[in-house]
Amino acid sequence: MTYSFLTLSRDDNVATLTLNRPEKRNALSSALRAEIARAFGELAADDSVSVVILTGAGSVFCAGFDLSEFDQSGDVVAHFTDDDNPVVFHTALGTFDKPIVGAINGPALAGGFDVACQCDIRIAADTAVFGHPEIKFGAPTMFTQLSYIVGGGIARDLALTGRKIDAAEALRIGLVSSVVPAAELPAAAMGCARQIAEAPLAALRVVKATINARAPLQFP
């Protein structure tokens, strides 16, 4: 498994996948989205991996889609209609048959917030920020995955207002399981992943299939 915009490391049966465009705030370019889809497909087929930690390089988890790839017409919806790559990569995450622990190391915004919501468990650094600012420039937000986590009322608030919330509020509303100092995040995420990985992979796949069935991926 070799990638240009991801790094992959292994610790026994736990794999850590890192979005690796720190100079671009780990923005989801078309190439990065394609690599994410490929990586999760390969990890799904690897029975030596039981759990995946997903995180970002640098101080940002993911700033969302790479706006430099959009045309200047302002028609954001048309971009996604013409390019099915976002659907492919979200589907790769949303149908992945093993647990994903999100180590949210900084801001997770727009499409990056969606990626965080597709993790099964989220552990946040105290520097993490979440929000859907893309609603302000015409991009519909992915409401359903967020609503499964925090409930419909709070999801409506965040999806429609585009307001940002800090790690403390994310913990209060149940978006994240815990908040730790940024320096302690890798160890906290690995501790969680190892605890999950104590269970047989077959059992984890049954539970994950139930999770995926109860929270099917939907697009705006």
Q: Give residue limits of the domains in the chain.
A: 6-214
H-helix or E-strand spanning residue 161 = helix 152-161
- Lowest mean pLDDT segment, chosen from 90-94, 105-109, 165-169: 90-94
Exposure string over 91-101, b if 16+ CB within 10 A, otherwise e = ebbbbbbbbbb
Measured CA distances, 80 to 50, 65, 84, 86, 164 (Å): 32, 11, 7, 7, 23
Q: Say what the pLDDT of residue 218 is.
A: 67
Tokens, residue 208: 């994950």
Query: For residue range 203-214, what is the model confidence (pLDDT) as tens digits?
Result: 999 999 999 998
Query: For residue range 35-83, what is the model confidence (pLDDT) as tens digits?
Result: 999 999 999 999 999 999 999 999 999 999 887 886 655 555 555 545 5
- 80: how many CB neighbours lie within 10 A of its CB? 18
Residues in Cβ contact with 186 at an 8 Å cutoff, skipping those fewer than 6 apart: 55, 103
| pLDDT above 70 for 108 | yes
In DSSP notation, 71-92 reads -TT--HHHHHHH--HHHHHHHH
Give this prediction's pTM. Answer: 0.93
Phi then psi for 140, rounded to 5 degrees?
-60, 140
Residues in Cβ contact with 160 at an 8 Å cutoff, skipping those fewer than 6 apart: 135, 141
Could you confirm whether domain 6-214 is CATH 3.90.480.10?
no
